Amino acid sequence: MRFRGSLQIKIATMKITMTKERLTRAISLTALGLILSFTVMDRLTGDSLAAPGSQEKTAEQVYKNIKSFTGLPASQLDGVMNYMSASLGVGCSYCHTDSWESDDRAAKNNARRMIEMTRAINKTNYGVEWGVVSCYTCHVGRPFPEATPGARQELWQPPPKPDPKAMAALPTIDEVLEKNIRALGGQASIDGLKTRTSRGTLTVENGIGPAVSVPMEIHQKAPNKMLFTAAYPGGAYTEGFDGSASWIADNRKKEGIAGTEPEGRTLGSEPTLTEFHAYIKLRETYPTMRLLGKEIINGREAFLIGATSKSGSRDKIYIDTETGLLIRKHTLFKTVLGMIPEVVDFSDYREVGGVRLPFKIIWSRPPFTWTRMFTEIKHNVPIDDEKFDKPASKQ
């Protein structure tokens, strides 16, 4: 997922050498003129930064007022902004006014000083430009770092070790996955799913203005065709994936803070949408899984599974110990400054034609939250392949 509009969160995963499969992940969704870029599954493989020899524009060629991040591939600016927001625990408007390029907020200029300082610390002490000491190292979620240590004793105790007895009592990973398949409705029912049509509401909180809710509709066809439409008051936002390439048709009237859309963005993808079976055939999505323990997620006890996807991203997935259903996926999104968490929560499972599906999906990457609440999901209504093609006028 991703935001586009004036704000793009692009993920520089679009390497020319990508396999068709990786390319299929390049999709995005918008809101409020902000595009929230979901990242591609291979984001953790290390190849998403600065593709050498690529023709990609630099940040200063795409944006209006770049002084600190000159030379950075433009697609990486969004991730950096997310990382800085998350590190300080603030929304975008902490440093920005209605026009992103404006330097009216003191915090933005302070941030430029901090960027230089952080770069210098890394260079002088570690011989790298970024990545060892970062904003979060000092800020830990607040704009003004604490200079005085806390007095609580636990702060200097070693972290607790996992209880070996509790680990011994865990089921096997196979048992957990079997339970998940049974909970969903059984392998035969899952295999019988060919298309899905979902309707409901998309609510976007972007860390700038109030939350915005719009009607949305999603058409999907196995294994990975997808058409997403959100009906904004100013016009429809549509994006599609035809099985090998993604496209966007943005007919919204731009307004306010979302006014200027920089050219040349790349799209990320969130497999909830593009991969028809992403979260119902876990073994296919994640060839390698290890049961690591139990945690409490949103008040529910869940098995924590360390899962490595086909493309190498290392995720944590959580299966409710009682219901056997997937309730959370946690992954890390890479920026030049460091990693930021990306979390997808699944809830309100209901049965649709023999398979249980989540009617509420919340995706978040600080400071963005993007909630899909479905009112209707239908399976196996025939959908023509052409529906997923890029509209002719946009070619």
Distance CA 126, CA 262 (A): 34
88 binding ligand HEC? (CB under 6 A):
yes
Cβ pair 369, 395 in contact under 8 A? no
Residue 238 CA to chain centroid, in angstroms? 18
Question: CB under 6 A: which stretch of 135-143, 162-170, 250-258, 346-354 binds ligand HEC?
Answer: 135-143
130 binding ligand HEC? (CB under 6 A):
no
135 binding ligand HEC? (CB under 6 A):
yes
Distance CA 24, CA 41 (A): 10
Q: Residue 334 Cβ, how far from ligand HEC at the closest point, in Å?
A: 16
268 binding ligand HEC? (CB under 6 A):
no
Q: Residue 258 Cβ, how far from ligand HEC at the closest point, in Å?
A: 10
Distance CA 288, CA 290 (A): 7
Q: Quick one: which of 90, 204, 216, 377 contacts ligand HEC (CB under 6 A)?
A: 90
- 3-state SS class at 388: helix
Distance CA 268, CA 274 (A): 11
335 binding ligand HEC? (CB under 6 A):
no
Q: Residue 160 Cβ, how far from ligand HEC at the closest point, in Å?
A: 28
Please provide residue 203's backbone torsions phi and psi, each rounded to the nearest 5 degrees: -120, 125
Please provide residue 179's backbone torsions phi and psi, each rounded to the nearest 5 degrees: -65, -40
In the sheet that holds 2-3, the strands lie side by side as 2-3, 34-37, 29-31
Nearest CB to ligand HEC, comparing residues 24 and 118: 118
Instruction: Tell me, residue by residue from 145 to 184, as one string, x for binding to ligand HEC by CB under 6 A and - for no binding.
Output: x---------------------------------------
378 binding ligand HEC? (CB under 6 A):
no
Strand partners, 295: 302
Instruction: Tell me the site size for ligand HEC, rule CB under 6 A.
Output: 40
Q: Which of 317, 326, 322 is nearest to 184 (CA)?
A: 326
Cβ pair 305, 173 in contact under 8 A? yes
Nearest CB to ligand HEC, comparing residues 207 and 268: 207
66 binding ligand HEC? (CB under 6 A):
yes
Q: Quick one: which of 67, 142, 378, 394 contacts ligand HEC (CB under 6 A)?
A: 67
92 binding ligand HEC? (CB under 6 A):
yes
Cβ pair 365, 92 in contact under 8 A? no
Binding stretches for ligand HEC (CB under 6 A): 6-7, 63-69, 81-82, 84-85, 88, 90, 92, 94-96, 100-101, 106-108, 110-112, 114-115, 118, 133, 135, 137-139, 143-145, 207, 367
